[in-house]
């Protein structure tokens, strides 16, 4: 299968002469994958995303998205990509929620009926129909994130790129966001690229994890693989998810257990262990 995204040994120089070298492993994303990028602040995550989105042009190295150069073919690529930036306030352009969701659709010159239909469909799906005619700055953080997501999904993108989408969300909104994204990935096959600091959420939203540290892509693997490499995580100032760490320690004590993906799986596994103990 041809990968959706290929990034090889990228070098970027910012106007203030800061150099970012994203070398090490190649960054490869296959269609339909859920990819999470982890790394400390300033490690180069945002630079990587900016290149994938075509907002920056690399000095050295290659960036390919759907076989094209995102910077050169910006206008072709952007229609296939939905984006949520960290600060959603800055990305909401439309003066009302409806206008914002319709922003790209109208820019593409779609008919009013099509625009209305799509906006209504998306807002229903995300549960934001009731404030379609509200002005964005009076919405809560979680609601704004949903509006931004609705705007990003309006063109039915193949790829959804999200910088810290769980930032500043309360636990309930976070769970909703995770299930919405997973649903999208499952039903529409949307490829997801997510950066986050919220490590506990990662197992439930990632097929593949990349760890970026000091400008290098230092590791790639499934959540199980990545979270078992505590040494690499520590070096990148990251800590494995609490559940993962717990099961790691259990393994070290001689219990034969896999690392569960979420709380429910962990519960099942622990119950099984306890049941065995009960029998013994």
User: Rule CB under 8 A: which residues touch other proteins?
Assistant: 15-16, 50, 53, 55, 74, 78-79, 81, 83, 85, 87, 89-96, 99, 102-104, 106-108, 134-138, 151
**Closer by beta carbon to other proteins, 12 or else 261:** 12
Q: Strand pairing of 208-213 and 216-221?
A: antiparallel
CA dihedral 118, 35, 59, 67 (to 10 degrees): -60
3-state secondary structure (DSSP) of residue 11: strand
**Closer by beta carbon to other proteins, 169 or else 218:** 169
**Closer by beta carbon to other proteins, 25 or else 55:** 55
Contacts of 251 (CB under 8 A, 6+ apart): 257
3-state secondary structure (DSSP) of residue 45: helix
For residue 137, the minimal CB distance to other proteins (Å) is: 4
For residue 180, the minimal CB distance to other proteins (Å) is: 20
For residue 218, the minimal CB distance to other proteins (Å) is: 27
Alpha helix ranges (H) inside the chain: 45-52, 74-77, 97-107, 112-126, 141-153, 171-188, 223-228, 230-235, 242-252, 263-279
Residue 29 carries which DSSP code? E
3-state secondary structure (DSSP) of residue 200: helix
3-state secondary structure (DSSP) of residue 141: helix
**Closer by beta carbon to other proteins, 108 or else 170:** 108
**Closer by beta carbon to other proteins, 2 or else 16:** 16
**Closer by beta carbon to other proteins, 53 or else 269:** 53
For residue 89, the minimal CB distance to other proteins (Å) is: 5
The span from the CA of 126 to the CA of 129, in Å, is 8
Q: Maximum Cα–Cα distance for the chain, whole Å?
A: 70
**Closer by beta carbon to other proteins, 84 or else 226:** 84
The span from the CA of 207 to the CA of 51, in Å, is 22
Q: Sign (positive/negative) of CA torsion 267, 269, 274, 279?
A: positive
For residue 86, the minimal CB distance to other proteins (Å) is: 9
For residue 55, the minimal CB distance to other proteins (Å) is: 5
């Amino acid at each position: 299968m041809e990968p959706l995204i290929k990034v090889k040994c990228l070098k970027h120089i910012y106007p203030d002469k800061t150099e970012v070298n994203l070398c090490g492993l190649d960054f490869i994303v296959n269609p339909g994958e859920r990819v999470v990028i982890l790394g400390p602040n300033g490690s180069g995550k945002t630079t990587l995303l900016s290149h994938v989105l075509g907002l920056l042009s690399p000095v050295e190295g290659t960036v390919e998205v759907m076989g094209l150069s995102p910077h050169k073919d910006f206008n072709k690529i952007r229609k296939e990509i939905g984006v949520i930036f960290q600060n959603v306030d800055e990305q909401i352009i439309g003066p009302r929620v409806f206008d914002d969701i319709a922003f790209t659709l109208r820019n593409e010159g779609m008919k009013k009926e099509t625009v209305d239909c799509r906006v209504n469909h998306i807002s229903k799906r995300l549960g934001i129909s009731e404030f379609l005619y509200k002005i964005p700055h009076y919405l809560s953080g979680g609601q704004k994130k949903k509006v931004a997501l609705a705007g990003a999904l309006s063109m039915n993108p193949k790829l959804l790129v999200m910088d810290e989408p769980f930032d500043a969300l309360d636990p309930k909104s976070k769970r909703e966001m995770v299930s919405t994204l997973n649903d999208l990935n499952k039903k529409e096959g949307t490829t997801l690229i997510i950066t986050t600091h919220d490590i506990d959420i990662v197992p439930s939203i990632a097929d593949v994890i990349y760890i970026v540290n000091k400008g290098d892509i230092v590791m790639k693997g499934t959540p199980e693989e990545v979270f078992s490499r505590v040494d690499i995580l520590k070096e990148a100032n990251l800590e494995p998810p609490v559940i993962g760490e717990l099961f790691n320690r259990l393994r070290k004590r001689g219990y034969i257990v896999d690392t569960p993906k979420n709380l429910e799986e962990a519960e099942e596994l622990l119950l099984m262990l306890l049941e065995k103990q009960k029998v013994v």
